[in-house]
Amino acid sequence: MEFTREARGRRQFRTELNLRVWHCKCVKTPLSPKSTSGLRGEYAGAGDDFTVEQDWQSYSPEAHDRWRRLYAAQSALAARYAAPQFLEGLAKLDSAGGIPRFDDANRVLQAETRWTLVAVPGFIPDAVFFDHLAHRRFPVTRWLREEHELDYLVEPDVFHDFFGHVPMLLDPRIADFLEMYGRAGEKAMAMGALDMLARIYWYTIEFGLVREEGGLKVFGAGIVSSAGETVYAIEDEAVLRLPFDPERVMRTAYSIDNFQQNYFVLDSLDQLIGSLVGLDFGPIYERWRHEQPLPAGQLQAGETPFKAVRLESLGERTP
């Protein structure tokens, strides 16, 4: 089995219509210590696990100001569109005033869910990323985008990683899921089915929606860190929003150069683990790994999507 309760427990950054894809903390092709040339970040000083010191003192006053502006803009949108668990986590982290110290965040995380943030230069290999997650360590890029990159960034930075991901690490269900996901990586890689497992992460941790009282809410980091997609994911009439089903998710392609054409909606965050614990991914991998994925945004026979939500209305299925 892939996910067990004993295990406690592609990342992507996008701004507006611009996006580059990676799985976990790595690029499209496997990353190795010998293939980091051309990548942003100081890899020369990284350890075998690709971690570095955050070196918080090196952030300039201009960088802290840039963080404050990014935070103010996205937190205002999150207040309207994000899941309450994200908002609660964001408040506990108290990082509106400038680039946070990872050590300060770690004291909060350790007390709540026993997770630790580790600083990394940027992209890291699949196997390394999975190992970090399996041991409840979440890699966070240490550098912040420059002023001219506020609307477009190729690689993940500290704002995407911290603002987008870390608040949800304070929810025990997300915390446990991520460890389980890390433990599942080895088998997926061995079976040549990493792309299938990655779609689970993509459509939940990066681009997940959840039903909450009063409507659908976003909790995926790729949405909540994007001003345009935050509104689009909830309110656009053309988007396909489907009930979360693990096998359907693992078979579904995704967009890497535009907003997503479909999203998957959890009935609650409990469903994320409840639907995966005890599920044997092996036969699913064998059945579909050599097949082309289902096109994103295409409704299959018998499926009933959710309607767009205007904040105050509960997400209903279309007739």
In the predicted model, is pLDDT for residue 3 greater than 70? no
Torsions phi, psi for 130 (to 5 deg): -60, -40
Alpha helices of 94-157 — where are they, by DSSP H?
102-112, 126-134
Q: What is the CA radius of gyration of the chain?
A: 18
Q: For residue range 121-179, what is the model confidence (pLDDT) as tens digits? A: 999 999 999 999 999 999 999 999 999 888 767 788 999 999 999 999 999 999 999 99
Residue that has been written with the tokens 């097949």 in this structure: 291
pLDDT bucket at 25, cuts 50 / 70 / 90: very low
Which residues are CB-contacts of 251 (< 8 A; sequence separation ≥ 6)? 196, 199, 288, 291, 293, 294
Q: For residue range 35-66, what is the model confidence (pLDDT) as tens digits? A: 555 678 889 889 999 999 999 999 999 999 99
> 3-state class of 190 per DSSP?
helix
Q: For residue range 171-225, what is the model confidence (pLDDT) as tens digits? A: 999 999 999 999 999 999 999 999 999 999 999 999 999 999 868 999 999 999 9
Q: For residue range 88-107, what is the model confidence (pLDDT) as tens digits? A: 999 999 999 999 999 999 99
Q: What angle do CA 23, 29, 33 make, to 5 degrees?
A: 95
The structure's pTM equals: 0.86
Torsions phi, psi for 206 (to 5 deg): -90, -40
In the predicted model, is pLDDT for residue 5 greater than 60? no
Domains defined for the chain, CATH in brackets: 12-34+48-288 (1.10.800.10)
- Residue 200 carries which side chain, given as an amino acid letter? I
What are residue 216's DSSP bridge partners? Answer: 211
Q: How far apart are CA 149 and CA 28, in angstroms?
A: 22
pLDDT bucket at 278, cuts 50 / 70 / 90: confident
